[in-house]
């Protein structure tokens, strides 16, 4: 692998989240950072804490295992020996209970979704996690096991309306255990509990803020790139654009070249729009790679979603590599890699199943003779957005809906062809333009159109039609890890449907996707 640089962490103390395979683990760290407490995630199976981080508290994540089953992940003793406050969540709770001699059993009924929780007064140090006098709150449950016998030394801190044990605190140690998920937005006072854990129990100063981030990132960039020249792979997305802006802030515009790869799979008018925005940033060197033909050629006949993702990821890297080899002045390659990508792809994940292979990380081949600059490898997306605003980038760019690396290819079910991309670009543009026109763009966190591989019968004028279907997807979310359905007015959806059918030839039906994540994912592939 090329030498990884900028791996210097931005703070040297924080809360360590031990990952036991929950889909929500990253959310725990994000929520902590949102309340100002720097945090990192590591695999729950590692045998020592990370070098260079002073651990102020430990959180044990949830996970798919059952503690009583053979081969299940266990609680590492080193974590308990650090003698710092510990919070166990779901599976993390069960690990603590089992360790203390309590009993975990298969729940008679799997609990999933919202529950009402009643807090009862407790006395141990961890009782500071619950606001005094606040008795009832909504929490998010997702578990198949529960606690059969409470271990000695622990007392009940909360139960649900259905008398399911929801929280335990230790009588005299700074340890607490929750059956529910405070990191999930549906848990009403979840962020407050995590803030109390960091501040009141771990004694942290909540100083992880915007200016601190920009200063520390610029310092590391200058230190590691020196007088080098950086090539930035731009996709038009928030991450790569903010990467380019930050590198320019740290090194000066003459030391940064943005290369934009037009895969042919982008949204309508994306290339001129992004080029314009990059120029406004003061960028002096910009290159456009027109790679559409190559991508369509390689995607011909491919219908499998994972295969599409792999092909696109490979081509994307090869295109940059070819460019970089022709231009010898570059010393570094800048990428907008984010912390969640690093955790998931660098083997830190504790075996949470791969749902989709994200293409924008980790594929850089050894032979690329450039060092990597990834200023955001310790940051979450919302932190990157905050950096972008801090650097003076326009809101319309920073607050754009996310767009996946593989582009429209994962929104075209079945084969990706030039005609099908055009059809989808038109339908998507009609949907997004209507959201802007009716001032609804920020109601969903992300919205887009999907082209389905099915035909159905319709009637247009006096004629029978047999044409394709567009699905509209509009979700609410805070990070894409979970999602709800955006509440768009039916009158608006029918207006969009009407416009699509009138203007996009080949479409005679429009449907609205009303599935949350989980169980669905946001993208259809």
Cα separation, 328 vs 514, in Å, equals 50
349 binds ligand XMP (CB under 6 A): no
Q: Does 375 bind ligand XMP (CB under 6 A)?
A: no
Catalytic residue among 98, 143, 159, 181: 181
Q: Which residue in 98, 159, 183, 374 is the catalytic one?
A: 183
Element (H, E) at 500: helix 490-503
Q: Could you tell me which stretch among 37-45, 80-88, 400-408, 415-423 binds ligand XMP (CB under 6 A)?
A: 400-408
Cα 298 to the center of its chain, rounded Å: 28
Nearer to ligand XMP, 179 or 446 (CB): 446
Residues sharing a CB contact under 8 Å with residue 201, sequence separation 6 or more, in sequence order? 57, 85, 87, 125, 126, 128, 129, 174, 176
The least CB distance from residue 122 to ligand XMP, in Å, is 38
Q: Report which DSSP code applies to 379.
A: -
Smallest distance, ligand XMP to C-beta of residue 521, A: 3
* Cβ at position 480, least distance to ligand XMP in Å: 3
Region for residue 83 given its phi and psi (left: phi exceeds 0; alpha: psi -120 to 50; beta: otherwise): left
**Closer CB to ligand XMP, residue 433 or residue 521?**
521
Identified binder of ligand XMP from the candidate list 143, 358, 420, 509, rule CB under 6 A: 358
CA 233 to chain centre: 20
**Closest approach of ligand XMP to the CB of residue 11, in Å:** 26
Q: Does 240 bind ligand XMP (CB under 6 A)?
A: no
Q: Does 359 bind ligand XMP (CB under 6 A)?
A: yes
Q: Report the residue number, 174 or 375, with the smaller CB distance to ligand XMP.
A: 375
Contact mark string toward ligand XMP, 486..525, x via CB under 6 A: -------------------------------x---xxx--
Residue 90 a catalytic site member = yes
Whether 117 contacts 160, CB under 8 Å: yes
Q: Does 404 bind ligand XMP (CB under 6 A)?
A: yes
Binding mask 44-73 for ligand XMP (x = CB under 6 A): ------------------------------
Per-residue b or e along 85-113, where b marks 16 or more CB atoms closer than 10 Å to that residue's CB: bbbbbbbbbbbbbbebebebeeeeeebee
Under rule CB under 6 A, residue 308 binds ligand XMP? no
Active site residue 229: no
**Does 181 participate in catalysis according to the annotation?**
yes
| Of 445, 446, 466, nearest in space to 457 by CA | 466
Number of residues that bind ligand XMP (CB under 6 A): 14
Please give the angle made by the CA atoms of 420, 424 and 429, to the nearest 5 degrees.
Answer: 150
- Give the CB-side neighbour count of residue 59, counting CA atoms within 13 A: 35
Name which of 357 and 467 has its Cβ closer to ligand XMP.
357
Q: Which is the catalytic residue, given 40, 90, 98, 188?
A: 90
Q: How far is the CB of 517 from ligand XMP (least distance, A)?
A: 5
Q: Which is nearer to ligand XMP, 402 or 458 (CB)?
A: 402
* CB-based contact 173:80 (threshold 8 Å): no
Q: In 3-state terms, what secondary structure has residue 1?
A: coil
Give residues 461-480 in contact with ligand XMP (rule: CB under 6 A).
480
Residue from 62, 405, 407, 444 in contact with ligand XMP (CB under 6 A):
405
Question: Containing H/E element for 98?
Answer: helix 91-99
To 10 degrees, what angle do helices 292-299 and 305-326 make? 150
Q: What is the 3-state secondary structure (H, E, C) of 268-330?
A: CCHHHHHHHHHHHCCCCEEEEEECHHHHHHHHCCCCCHHHHHHHHHHHHHHHHHHHHHHCCCC
- 402 interacts with ligand XMP by CB under 6 A: yes
The stretch among 69-77, 137-145, 358-366, 461-469 that binds ligand XMP (CB under 6 A) is 358-366
* Mask for 178-207, x = binds ligand XMP (CB under 6 A): ------------------------------
Among 61, 425, 446, 469, binds ligand XMP (CB under 6 A): 446
In contact, 238 and 479? CB cutoff 8 Å = no
Of the pair 362, 402, the CB lying nearest ligand XMP is at 402
Bridge partners of 42, per DSSP, are 18
Question: Cis ω on the peptide bond leading into residue 155 (within 30° of 0)?
Answer: no
Helix and strand totals (H; E) in the chain: 14, 18
Contacts with ligand XMP, residue ranges (CB under 6 A): 356, 358-360, 402, 404-406, 446, 480, 517, 521-523
Catalytic residues: 90, 181, 183
């Amino acid at each position: 692998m090329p030498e990884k640089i900028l791996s210097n962490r931005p703070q040297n103390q924080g809360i360590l989240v031990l990952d036991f395979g929950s889909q929500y683990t990253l959310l725990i760290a994000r929520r902590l950072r949102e309340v100002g407490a720097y945090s990192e995630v590591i695999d729950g199976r590692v045998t020592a804490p990370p070098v260079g981080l002073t651990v102020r508290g430990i959180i044990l994540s949830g996970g798919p295992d059952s503690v009583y089953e053979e081969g299940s992940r266990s609680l590492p003793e080193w974590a308990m020996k650090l003698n710092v406050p510990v919070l166990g969540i779901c599976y993390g709770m069960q690990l603590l209970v089992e360790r203390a001699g309590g009993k975990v059993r298969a729940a008679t009924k799997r609990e999933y979704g919202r529950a009402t929780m009643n807090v009862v007064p407790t006395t141990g140090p961890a009782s500071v996690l619950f606001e005094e006098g606040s008795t009832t709150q909504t929490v998010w449950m997702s578990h198949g096991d529960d606690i059969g016998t409470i271990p000695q030394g622990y007392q009940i801190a909360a139960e649900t309306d259905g008398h399911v044990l929801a929280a335990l605190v230790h009588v005299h140690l700074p340890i607490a255990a929750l059956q529910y998920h405070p990191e999930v937005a549906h848990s009403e006072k979840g962020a407050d509990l995590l803030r109390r854990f960091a501040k009141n129990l771990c004694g942290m100063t909540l100083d992880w803020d915007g200016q601190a981030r920009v200063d520390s990132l610029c310092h590391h960039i200058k230190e590691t790139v020196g007088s080098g020249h950086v090539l930035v792979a731009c996709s038009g997305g928030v991450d790569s654009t903010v990467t380019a802006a930050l590198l320019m802030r740290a090194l000066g515009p003459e030391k940064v070249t943005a290369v934009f790869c037009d895969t042919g799979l982008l949204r309508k008018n994306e290339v001129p729009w992004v080029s314009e925005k990059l120029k406004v940033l003061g960028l002096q060197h910009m290159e456009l790679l027109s790679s559409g033909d190559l991508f369509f050629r390689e995607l011909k006949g491919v219908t499998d979603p994972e295969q599409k993702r792999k092909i696109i990821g490979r081509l994307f890297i090869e295109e940059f590599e070819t460019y970089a080899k022709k231009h010898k002045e570059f010393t570094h390659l800048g990428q907008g890699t984010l912390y969640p990508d690093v955790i998931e792809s660098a083997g830190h994940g504790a075996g949470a199943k791969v749902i989709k292979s994200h293409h924008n990380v980790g594929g850089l081949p050894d032979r690329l003779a450039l060092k990597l600059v990834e200023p955001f490898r310790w940051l979450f997306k919302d932190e990157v957005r905050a950096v972008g605003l801090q650097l003076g980038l326009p809101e319309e760019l920073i607050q754009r809906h996310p767009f996946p690396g593989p582009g429209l290819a994962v929104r075209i079910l079945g084969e990706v062809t030039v005609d099908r991309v055009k059809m989808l670009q038109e339908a998507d543009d009609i949907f997004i333009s209507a959201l802007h026109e009716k001032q609804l763009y920020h109601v969903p966190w992300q919205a887009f159109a999907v082209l389905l591989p099915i035909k159905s019968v319709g009637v247009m004028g006096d004629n029978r039609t047999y044409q394709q279907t567009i699905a509209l997807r509009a979700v609410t979310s805070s990070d894409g890890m979970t999602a709800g359905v955006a509440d768009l007015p039916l009158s608006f959806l029918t207006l969009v449907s009407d416009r699509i059918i009138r203007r996009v030839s080949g479409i005679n039906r429009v449907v609205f996707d009303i599935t949350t994540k989980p169980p669905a994912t946001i993208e259809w592939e």
